[in-house]
Amino acid sequence: MTEDVRNITTALATISEHWQPHRLHSINDYDVKVVKLQGEFVWHIHPDTDEMFLVLSGQLTIQLRDRDVVLGPNDVFVVPRGVEHCPKAAEEVQAMLFEPQGTVNTGDADGEMTSRLREFCEA
- The more confident residue out of 99 and 106 is 99
Q: What value does the mean pLDDT take over residues 90-103?
A: 93
Q: How many domains does the chain have?
A: 1
Whether residue 121 is predicted with pLDDT greater than 80 in this model: the reply is no
Whether residue 47 is predicted with pLDDT greater than 60 in this model: the reply is yes
Chain centroid to CA 9: 15
CATH of the domain at 49: 2.60.120.10
User: How long a stretch of residues is the chain?
Assistant: 123
Contact indicator for 16, 92 with CB cutoff of 8 Å: no
Task: Quickly count: other Cβ atoms within 10 Å of residue 64's Cβ.
Answer: 15
Q: Is residue 53 part of a domain?
A: yes
Domain of residue 22 covers: 2-101
Provide the 3-class DSSP secondary structure of residue 23: strand
Q: What are phi and psi of 89, to 5 degrees?
A: -145, 120
